[in-house]
Structure 1
Amino acid sequence: MKAVVIYKSKTGFAKKYAEWIAEDLKADIFEVSKVTMDRLSIYDVIIFGGSLYAVGINGVKVITQNINMLKDKKLIVFATGASPSKEDTINEIINKNFTLEQQKYIKFFYLRGGFNYGKLSIFDKMLMTLLKWKIESKKKKGNKLTFDEIGMLAAYDKPMDFTKKKNIEEIIHYITS
């Protein structure tokens, strides 16, 4: 079984998981911009990891746009996000990123990553600042904040890293069984 891990990571959480998976599987690892379909053709197992961006998986198009060339391989996609894993959110991620046909070939996993405002691009910082203002406005109006909103407000001032190597165990077990 020849495996490769490819990833796209904005703040380093997806990259960290990709490196741990590659290490455990003794797999090759590439940032998504370094990958071609010719390069992927030699692998039996392709693992892609990307960070979530408004429920979209960063860089996953390398898999979805080439599904016809890859569907004879074992395909795994993981996404990282700051929020704890919730079934309804996972279903939303799957349905937003993959067609029903693609879902037949792709096994999806969600891995809790983190949030580091300081590592965001200027554009992403602007978007996140707007979100922060929206949450703060809700709080000022006396509306109850969700657990995720409380966590997001706290994360602006202090980076949060929820990555744990044990979180990849389910992926490793799926691939090796």
Structure 2
Amino acid sequence: MKIVVIYKSKTGFTKKYAAWLAEELSADIFEFEKVTVGMLTGYDTVIYGGGLYAVSINGIKFILKNLDKLKGKKIIVFATGASPERKETTDEIRNKNFTLEQQKHIHFFYMRGGFDYSKLKTFDKILMTLLKWKIKGKKELTEDEKGMLAIYDKPVDFTRKDNINKVVDCVRKQ
């Protein structure tokens, strides 16, 4: 079985998971920007990873617009974000990014990444600052909102290699 891991990572957390998956599965690995759909024809399994931005998976449109060309392949998508992994979080991400029909063909996983404001580009810093102000303006904060405010000034890395196990199991399951 030939496997490829493709990733789009702004701050390194998705890249870390992609590298761990590629190593564990003896897969080829490519940055999103270097991939064409034609390159994927020789693979049986395509794994795509992207960070979350407002519950949207960074770069996922590449996979979605090429689903018809990837028919017959196992398609796995993973997203990384700062929020803890919870069923409701995973369901929200899945339902926002994939139609019910697409969900029949895509195996989806969420893995907790981290947050490092200093690694963001200017535009993303502006967006995150606006989000920070919006959260600070609330009278009552959720635990996730309190957590987001706490990590703005101090980078956090929640990545754990064993988080890839569920993806690895999915790849190996026929």
* TM-score (ref. length: structure 1): 0.95
Give me the identity figure in percent: 65
Deviation above 2 Å: which 4+ runs of structure 1?
none
Question: Cα offset for 1:150?
Answer: 1.0
| 2:171 aligned residue | 175
Distance 1:130 1:174 in 2: 38
Residue in 2 aligned with 1:80? 80
Q: What is the CA-CA distance between 1:154 and the residue it aligns to?
A: 1.1
Mapped to 2, the partners of 1:71 and 1:97 lie a distance apart of 19
User: TM-score scaled by structure 2?
Assistant: 0.96
Is residue 111 of structure 2 the alignment partner of residue 115 of structure 1? no
Structure 2 equivalent of residue 62 of structure 1: 62
- Residue equivalent to 2:23: 23
Cα drift, residue 121 of structure 1 = 1.1
* Structure-1 residue corresponding to 2:136: 136
Letter in 2 for 1:6: I
Q: Is the partner of 2:42 in helix, strand or coil?
A: coil
Offset of residue 80 of structure 1: 0.1
Q: Identify the residue that residue 105 of structure 1 maps to in structure 2.
A: 105
Query: What corresponds to 2:149 in structure 1?
Result: 153
Q: Which amino acid aligns with 2:15?
A: K
Q: Which runs of 5+ in 1 are unaligned?
A: none
1:109 partner amino acid: F
* Equivalent position amino acid for 2:162 in 1: K
Q: Which amino acid aligns with 1:173?
A: D
